[in-house]
Amino acid sequence: MEDVDAEVVAGQAVYNRFVLSVYDLWVLRMSCRFLWRCPNPVMLANYQRNVGARHLDLGVGTGFFLDRVSFPQDGSDVTLLDLNETSLRTAAQRIRRYRPATVRADVLQPFPPEAAGPYDSIGLNFLLHCLPGTWPEKGKVFEHAAPLRAPGGKVFGSTILGTGVPIGAVARRLMATYNQRGIFHNTGDDLEGLKEQLGQHFPAYRVVVQGCVAVFAAGDEEDFGDA
C-alpha cells in the first residue's frame, strides 16, 4: 500500500475493538434512527435490492448488513475491503459462513489486484462521510469501483450528508464533534455533489434522501434509467 494520508488514517482509526463492539447498537440502531433519522432497515433494503452473487464490500465495519442481507445464490463469493485490520477481521468472522476474501486497502487509492473482480455488486455503506476531501476527491472511490463492475453490476450504499438536509440540533452537535475529531469529514457533503460524482462515473443512478442520509445505487440505464 502506498503512503496513506493522515486524514484518511484518522477516518478509519477509530474503529478499534471497543468501538466495533458498540457500533451496531450506537451507530446502526440508535444514531441512525434518532439522530440521522434514517433507520437501518432503509439501508438493509438498499442492500437487498442491489446485492449480487459476486459482491465487493468497501468499508466493512462490523459486517452488520452483510450478515443480514440474503444473497441471490449462496453468496459464497464475497470480498471485504477496508483499511482497518480490525474491521476486516470483525466482519470476516461475522460472515465466515461465506468464506469472504479480505483485502486491506485505502479506497482512495487504486485497488490492489486481489480486489480485481468483476463483481455483480459493490457496496459502500456509511463510508463516504468518513473520507476526507471534496466531492471530486471522495469520488475517487467511484472511479476505482466502476471498472470492477460485471455487466449489469451495481454500486450502492449510503452516506450522511452534512449540508442542505434537515439535521436536528443534537445530531448537528454530534456531527460537528465527529468532524472535529476526524471521524467524519462531511461538513461540505451536499446532495448535488454526490449526484454529480455518481453521474460522472456511472451510466445511471438513483438517490433518495431520508433524514440527513443519502441512500444511492448506480449502474446501467436499464436498471436506473428513470432516476
Shortest distance, position 130 Cβ to ligand SAM, whole Å:
4
- Give the other-Cβ count within 10 Å of 39's Cβ: 16
Among 51, 103, 108, 115, binds ligand SAM (CB under 6 A): 108
Taking CB under 6 A as the rule, which mask of x and - marks residues 42-81 in contact with ligand SAM?
Answer: -----------------xxx--xx----------------
Q: 204: Cβ–Cβ under 8 A, 6 or more apart, which residues?
A: 218, 219, 220, 221, 223, 224, 225, 227
Task: For the segment 152-211, give every residue that binds ligand SAM (CB under 6 A).
Answer: none
By C-alpha distance, which of 37, 91, 85, 36 is closest to 62?
91
Nearer residue to ligand SAM within complex by CB, 28 or 204: 28
Nearest Cα residue to 146 out of 78, 197, 208, 82: 197
Among 106, 120, 189, 223, binds ligand SAM (CB under 6 A): 106
Under rule CB under 6 A, residue 218 binds ligand SAM: no
| Shortest reach from residue 64's CB to ligand SAM, in Å | 5
Decide: is 87 part of the binding site for ligand SAM (CB under 6 A). yes
Paired sense of beta strands 213-219 and 204-210, if any: antiparallel
Integer-rounded Cα radius of gyration of the chain: 16
Q: Which of 36, 98, 126, 224 binds ligand SAM (CB under 6 A)?
A: 126
Residue nearest to ligand SAM (CB): 61
- The answer to whether the CB of 54 falls within 8 A of the CB of 117 is yes
Minimum gap (Å) between residue 9 Cβ and ligand SAM = 8
Q: Report the distance separating Cα 90 and Cα 8, nearest Å.
A: 20
Contact 149, 207 (CB under 8 A): no
Stretch that binds ligand SAM, among 122-130, 187-195, 198-206, 216-224 (CB under 6 A): 122-130
Neighbouring residues of 115: CB distance < 8 A, sequence distance ≥ 6: 56, 79, 81, 103, 105, 148
Residue 82 binding ligand SAM, by CB under 6 A: yes
Among residues 59 and 100, whose Cβ is nearest to ligand SAM? 59
Tell which positions 19-48 bind ligand SAM, by CB under 6 A: 28
Task: Specify the 3-state DSSP secondary structure of 185.
Answer: coil
Decide: is 102 part of the binding site for ligand SAM (CB under 6 A).
Answer: no
Q: Interface residues with ligand SAM (CB under 6 A)? A: 8, 11-12, 15, 28, 59-61, 64-65, 82-84, 87, 106-108, 125-127, 130-131
